[in-house]
Structure 1
Amino acid sequence: MDSTKFFKKVTDMISTIFLYILLLALIVGMIKTLLDIRFILSESLESGFNRVVTSVLTVFIVIDLFKAFVDYHENDRIKLTDVTDATILIVLREIAVGLYSKEFGSQFILSLAALLLVLGVMRVLAIKYSPAKGSHTAVQNEVQPSKQSISTVLDKYKPALESN
């Protein structure tokens, strides 16, 4: 067997496993978010809201990672915009958690804000100078992924698992 084909099969299998793990994480995260709503009623509004915001931002991070893995599985490449989007969400989540729990000092929050600025500039430049068909038309060519059901997306990957 050709080593390139073997490598492709192994990476396809691993990315498919990660997709199922991320799908499970999405389901568990959604359930946790729904359960955290009860803390708004039982505890203080601030504490309950902190839990809900943290859970929602965490679910958004998992959704973005899921999108990146689907894109990798379909195109065999990782988009810089997907990675920067996930990183921006992680930083925003940490800022929100730190602000609500009042754990961070002003210098740390400013450094996270500077990191957000750099990530935002990096994302804009990644879109503007995308390798897709020309640098100035890349923004127009970037298409939003269609809203498909999860089963439709996962059905695309079943043949890869069944062929092994």
Structure 2
Amino acid sequence: MSYGMLTHEKIFRKVINIVTIIVLYILLLAIIVGMFNVFQNIGLVWLKKGGFSQVVYSVLTIFVLIDFFKAFADYQVHERIRLTYVTDATILIVLREITVLIYSHEFETETLLVFAALLLVLGIVRGIAVRFPASGNVNVKSLEMDRKSGEE
């Protein structure tokens, strides 16, 4: 019996919708600021006052932000998080950290091996996610109805 009252589910969906929209705008602003940072770093490299590693780091950071933006935008539309977007962002974060370690010349072999193992696992997870994609939205209520109809 619904008399136009807001249910908990509607309230939760509305709050999540508002939060994801705010996060999308924050990510968009971060991408724009990141692009200005890239141009600033390119200018410093051009003037021989900065390192090329900072440009690479800034560009990889923008790619991470773009992947997070894609994940939130996809969630806004489909109300689910795709594993491929999350693994892509994580792979980019690991690659960014490897790049920083290599350019700074402050890395140990064990650290690089751990990052390599992590990249291997993330690549396998991403490959499995692409090979066996989720089968759309699964509605809990429809699963309960299917279970109840099977009991009768």
What's the TM-score, normalizing by structure 2?
A: 0.83
Residue by residue over 1:10-68, the C-alpha shift from the partner in whole angstroms, topping out at 9 and shown as x without a partner, is: 00000000000000000000000000002213337xx5210100000000000000000
Question: Which residue does the alignment assign to 2:38?
Answer: 33
Q: Which amino acid aligns with 2:29?
A: L
Q: Work out which of the two has the higher radius of gyration on C-alpha atoms and give 1 or 2.
A: 2
Residue from 90, 103, 107 that aligns with 1:104 = 107
Distance in 2 (CA, whole Å) between partners of 1:125 and 1:69 is 22
In the other structure, the counterpart of 1:14 is: 19
**Cα shift at 1:103:** 1.7
Contact 1:15–1:69 under 8 Å retained in 2: yes
Q: Flag as ranges the 4+ runs of structure 1 deviating above 4 A.
A: none
Superposition RMSD on alpha carbons, in Å?
1.2
Say whether the 8 Å CA contact 1:26–1:63 is kept in structure 2.
yes
Q: CA deviation at 1:96?
A: 0.3
> In the aligned structure 2, how far is the partner of 1:24 from the partner of 1:130?
31
Query: Identity of paired residues, percent?
Result: 51
Corresponding residue for residue 67 of structure 2 = 64
Q: Does residue 81 of structure 1 match 2:84?
A: yes
Q: 1:130 aligns with which of 113, 130, 133?
A: 133
In 2, Cα distance between equivalents of 1:74 and 1:103: 43
Q: Is the 8 A contact 1:41 1:48 kept in 2?
A: no
